Amino acid sequence: MIWKTKITQLLNLRYPLIMGAFGGWGKSEFASVFSNVGGLGIIAALNFPNLEDFKKDLQNMKSLTTKPFGVNLSLPHHILRDNEEGEKTRKRYLDYIEIALDENCHIFTTSGYKAAFIGKRVHEAGGLWFHKCVLIKHAVSAEKQGADGVTLVGLEGTGFKNPLTNTTLVNVTLGRKLLKIPIIAAGGIGDARGFLSALALGADAVCLGTALMATEECPVPKNIKEKWLQLDIFEESFHDKIYKYNVKNFMAPSTAIGHFEKLVPLQTLIEELITGATKILDSWGFDHDELNTLDP
């Protein structure tokens, strides 16, 4: 099956799949596996406090894959103040951008706050800028500021939330009505049904975060990954962590972990997602070799 969406076309991807940004873990060894299986691997720049190490990791990425990949910068609000400290931080972020551009990376994802200054520089260099947010109103604002696409993270997802965060279903269906730019759906997606339904809701791709924690290649220590696989996602304390706004718990895996019983190779996870989605389409009587969402 050929998967044709605005995102696969724009980024030259085999599948409409984007790797989550992973603070601590999103480096070339892991990201290259994701790119090689047909999605967009993401290197989280802030994993490299030393810019020279960041450059080396980009070079390593290019030795591990010839497929497209992106660089993420996460911008927490408290370090982007309109003062000297904020100015210094913004300059530092732009240093990461320059290094990535130098290494011929032209796809950038940002998350958090006030990322337009990054988008501006990326566009000057002819690159693409995708912003990740949890509120539709922030996605509308990112579109106005020139973002080439947005990732909308629903309440089901892990990571930073806002007290007004809506579910993935609400974000994507209403986002589809309010936005012209491509949407990447994130939040709670961990199986073929979730993947396919996100496309049906109006997404042009899906971002996988927690699901990738259930892979052998994920560099999180094995004992922690095994512990996550044992989590009872229907238990009250787990529910509270995910669905109730609490900035401190932002690193808990999402309910997507409930789709996995054991660690699997990343390639197997993606193959199962894709063949599972194809089987569902078959069972519905879809008999084309190409799934094309370009014309809604």
Ligand X SMILES: Cc1cc2nc3c(=O)[nH]c(=O)nc-3n(C[C@H](O)[C@H](O)[C@H](O)COP(=O)(O)O)c2cc1C
Q: Where on the chain is the footprint of ligand X (CB under 6 A)?
A: 20-23, 25, 44, 74, 111, 132, 153, 156-159, 186-189, 207-211, 213, 251, 253-254, 256
Q: Smaller CB distance to ligand X: residue 4 or 51?
A: 51
> Closer to ligand X at the Cβ: 39 or 159?
159
Buried b (16+ CB within 10 A) or exposed e, 179-197: bebbbbbbbbbbbbebbbb
* Residue 22 vs 93, nearer CB to ligand X: 22
Phi, psi angles (nearest 5°) of residue 111: -140, 150
Q: Based on CB atoms, which residue is closest to ligand X, 94 or 220?
A: 220
Q: Which residue has the tokens 């054991």?
A: 262
Give the nearer residue to ligand X in terms of CB position, either 181 or 218: 218
Identify which of 127, 135, 129 has the alpha carbon closest to the alpha carbon of residue 174: 135
| Alpha carbon separation from 121 to 45, 96, 141, 148 (Å, rounded) | 16, 11, 18, 13
Place of tokens 């579109």: 143
Q: For the chain, how are helix, strand and coil distributed in percent, rounded to 5?
A: 50, 15, 35
Asked whether the CA dihedral 95, 98, 102, 107 is positive or negative, the reply is positive
Distance CA 168, CA 171 (A): 5
Residue nearest to ligand X (CB): 209
For 119-137, letters b (16+ CB in 10 Å) and e give bebbeeeebbbbbbbbbbe
Minimum CB–partner distance for residue 231 and ligand X (Å): 13
Question: Minimum Å distance from CB 73 to ligand X?
Answer: 9
Task: Using the minimum distance from each CB to ligand X, give the nearer residue, 6 or 27.
Answer: 27
Residue 294 CB, nearest approach to ligand X (Å): 25
